[in-house]
Every structure is written in structure tokens, then in C-alpha cells.
Amino acid sequence: MLALGDLVHSLGIDPLVDGLYVLTKKEHELKPQTPTIIVLPQSNINLILRSIKQHYPPGCEVLGVDDAGSMSKWMLSELDEAPLGKFRYIFLQAVSWENDLRNFDALRRIVKHLRAPDGCPWDREQTHESLGQYLLEETYEALEELDKGNIDEFSNELGDVLLQIVLHSEIASEVDRFNISDVILAINEKLVRRHPHVFGDMQVDTKEEVLANWEIQKTQERGGASLMEGVPPSLPALAYGQRVQERASGIGFDWEHIEDVETKIREEIEEFIKASSMKERELEFGDVLFTLVNLGRHLNFDVERSLRQANTKFVQRFQMMEKIAEEANLSFANLSLDEKEQIWIKVKDLEEG
């Protein structure tokens, strides 16, 4: 049987110079930037194959080594046909980031180069403040594709969001404030800390218990500050309303039954109708909206998404109305309200039929 040390010697690898990663269990994650030896298991080889395909580019070479030290080489694209069952080891050369643009390190290096003196003039000039709008815009573009059900485009838009995170991290690292590793460390620590039922000894049985413990953890982290601190005021108003209601609900300040919320909506509408001035009506109108958010929250709706869907539906119907008028050689803007209403009904009938 070929010993691991003999294999390393025959491959001409110096672990102190080249680095070396040895994977002996199928649950270990591959590291394409480091020369890797995989000790093949006696079963579940397909899991190893799937992992290699996920982490390595199609053009990389795969070396199989049997117990006698005999070697066979394939391209990754040929691996499905390779008789891996008769081999003890698989060896994979390190893949440079330039040859594997799927790798996160490639994104980090590209952004670093863009910010370098010989990089891009526009990227070099950017600051946290100048990029702030793009972080919000890219997030909304991702949500738009999600709402449309365009998963491929959603994936692309998530990449644009990720770019903003890496850009901000690179800008901060240039003045020794933080870097992308600090960002990842912070969220990893937070996830472990806020999931003691997964990474600790706490026992929970329901989603509600998980959410209640999540709020307790956040309260402890705030060190006595208000429960409402940490909800960004810059959030869209509907989303902000839903988040502050969720926080209040997390400590038991909430309607017990959805019927109570429905009753409250009727009360708020009545108060809006009875308001004696426009200023008072505006305030009462806000109360109506806030209570409608409460109803959506009790129904487990994302109220921002609900309104986005309604907006999209209206815009699509309106554009169809314009098209119908144009095809009839009519000026849509000059049609009477009754004529526009008839086209609106026609559009709804087309949707339903």
C-alpha cells in the first residue's frame, strides 16, 4: 500500500514551500488554491466527484494514484468516466485565481487591482459615501429579479451586491479600519452567538422560541439600549414599520389574534374619515398604513414585497392600456375617464382569460 508520505515525495511537493491540503473525510471542504490530496473513501465517491466539480474549473487536471503508485491523469470534464474505484488517492494541483474566476479570492484580488494606482481611475476615486447609493440600488435590483422569479438574473444581481461589500471592505482596509476577513469574522461570530440551540446547549422546539431567543440575544448585545435601536431609519417606511413591530412582538407587545388587528384597522379608518383637518388626516392616514403593516406581519407577508407586487401589476396593466390604445390609433392621454376605464376592464379580462 502506497503511504501518503511516499506519494508526496513522488509528486515532488514540498509542503513547506508549496503548501499541501490532505482531505480524508468527505465533509471537509476543498481548497483549490492549495495542492490537494484526497484519500478516496470506499463508498460515496460520487460525493467527492460532485465537490470537485463545484470547486475546480472544468479545464483542470485530475491525477489518480493506486496502491502500487501507478498514476492516471484525466481532465475534470472526463472524471465521470474515470474508474476511480481502483484508485486510493486523487491529486489536484493548486489553481491560481486568474484561472478560476468562480473563487471568492479572485473577486477580492480583482477589486484590489481596480483600486491600485495602475487600476481603474473611477474605482480609485470611490469612497464609502460615493458608493452608498449603489449598495441600496443593487439590493433593490436583486429584489426586483427575485419578485419576477428570474433566478438566473437574481444570481447576477447578488453578485453586484457582493461587489459592493468587497469594495467597501477594500476601501476600509486601505486606511487600516477593517477588511473583508473582519466582515466575515463578525457575521460568523454573530451567527454562532445567536444560535445557541445549534452551536451550544440550549434546547428549543419551535420557530417562535428561536425568534424570541434571537431578540433576547440582541437585547444583551445592545447592553441596555432601546429595543428599537439598530433598526435603520433609512429603511423604506413600510419595512421600517414591520421591523419595529417585529421587535415589539418579540417581547410580547403584540395583538394576540388577527381579528384584533382587523378591528383596529376599521377603527383607524373611521378616525381618518372623521379627521377635521388635512394635517390630522395625514397623521391618521399614517396610522392606517401602520396598522395594515401589522395585519401583513400577522399573515407572515413581507409588506414591502406585497406593495412592490401591487406596483408592478399596476404598471404592467397601465402599459397594456397604452398599447391597446396605440394599436387602435387612439391617443390614450386624450381618452375620457370612462374610455380609459373600459380599456382597464379589457386588460383585466385578458389577464383572467
Give residue-wise pLDDT tens across range 54-103. Answer: 888 888 899 999 988 889 998 988 888 888 888 889 899 988 878 778 88
pLDDT of residue 161: 97
Question: Between helices 237-250 and 207-222, what is the axis angle to 10°?
Answer: 100
CA angle 244, 281, 255 (to 5 degrees): 35
43-59 average pLDDT score: 81
Which pLDDT band, with edges at 50, 70 and 90, does 342 fall under?
very high
Q: Which residue has the cell 399596476?
A: 314
Residue 185 has pLDDT above 90, yes or no: yes
Q: Which residues pair with 37 in a beta bridge?
A: 22, 91
Helices (H), 299-336: 303-327
Average pLDDT, the chain: 90
Residue 166, C-alpha cell as written in the block: 468587497
Compute, in degrees rounded to 10, the torsion defined by CA atoms 96, 98, 102, 107.
Answer: 110
Residue 229 has pLDDT above 70, yes or no: yes
Cα separation of 239 and 333, whole Å? 34
Which pLDDT band, with edges at 50, 70 and 90, does 225 fall under?
confident
* Cβ contacts of 124 within 8 Å, gap of 6 or more: 114, 115, 116, 117
323-328 average pLDDT score: 94
242 contacts 235 by C-beta, under 8 angstroms: no
Cα separation of 330 and 326, whole Å? 6
Radius of gyration over alpha carbons of the chain, in Å?
A: 29
262 contacts 256 by C-beta, under 8 angstroms: no
pLDDT of residue 24: 81
Cα separation of 94 and 57, whole Å? 11
72, 101, 134, 164, 251 from 111: Cα distances, Å = 38, 13, 16, 10, 43
pLDDT of residue 16: 82
Q: Which of these ranges, 74-83, 290-299, 332-341, has the smallest mean pLDDT? A: 74-83
pLDDT, tens only, 234-274: 889 999 999 999 989 988 899 999 999 999 999 999 999 99
Which pLDDT band, with edges at 50, 70 and 90, does 26 fall under?
low
Q: Which residues pair with 38 in a beta bridge?
A: 23, 90
Identity of the amino acid at 178: F
pLDDT of residue 67: 85
Cα separation of 104 and 33, whole Å? 11
pLDDT of residue 291: 97
pLDDT of residue 8: 87
CA angle 43, 44, 49 (to 5 degrees): 125
Strands of the sheet with 89-92, listed across from one edge: 21-23, 36-39, 89-92, 61-65, 71-75
Residue 285, C-alpha cell as written in the block: 392616514
143, 148, 230, 239, 315 from 157: Cα distances, Å = 9, 13, 26, 21, 22
Q: Is 97 exposed, middle or buried (0-12, 13-18, 19+ CB in 10 A)?
A: middle
Give the percent of the chain with pLDDT over 90.
56
185-198 average pLDDT score: 92
Q: Which residues pair with 65 in a beta bridge?
A: 71, 89
pLDDT of residue 224: 67
Beta strand pairing status for 71-75 and 61-65? antiparallel
pLDDT of residue 134: 94
pLDDT of residue 44: 73
Which pLDDT band, with edges at 50, 70 and 90, does 340 fall under?
very high
pLDDT, tens only, 104-139: 888 999 999 999 999 999 999 999 999 999 998 999
